[in-house]
Structure 1
Amino acid sequence: MSPLVRVGTETGLKLIRSGILLLYALLLAFTLSKSLPLTCSVRFYVSSQFQQRVMEFVEQNHNNEIKIFMAKYYCVHLHSLFGALLAAGLVVARGELQS
Structure 2
Amino acid sequence: MSPLVRVGIETGSKLIRTGILLLYAHLLAFTIFKSLPLTCSIRFNMPSQFQQRVVEFVKQNHNNEIKIFMEKYYCVRLHSLFGALLASGLVVARGELQS
Contiguous gaps of at least 5 residues in structure 1: none
- Name the counterpart of 1:4: 4
C-alpha distance in 2 between matches for 1:4 and 1:64: 12
- Report the residue type matching 1:78 in the other structure: L
- Which residue of structure 1 lines up, in the alignment, with residue 27 of structure 2? 27
Equivalent residue, structure 1, for 2:63? 63
Q: Which residue of 2 aligns with 1:91?
A: 91
Which residue identity lines up with residue 78 of structure 2 in the other structure? L
Q: Which has the higher contact order (CA 8 A, sep 6+)?
A: 1
Q: What's the TM-score, normalizing by structure 1?
A: 0.96
The answer to whether structure 1 residue 48 and structure 2 residue 48 are counterparts is: yes
Give the aligned CA root-mean-square deviation in angstroms.
0.8
How far the C-alpha of 1:6 sits from its partner, in A, is 2.1
State the one-letter code of the partner of 1:69: F
In 1, the alpha carbon distance for the partners of 2:43 and 2:11 equals 30
Shift of 1:48: 1.3
3-state SS of 1:63 partner: coil
Structure 1 runs (4+) deviating above 2 angstroms are none
Give, in angstroms, the shift of residue 47 of structure 1: 1.7
Structure 2 unaligned spans of 5+: none
- The aligned residue for residue 36 of structure 1 is 36
SS in 2 for 1:93: helix
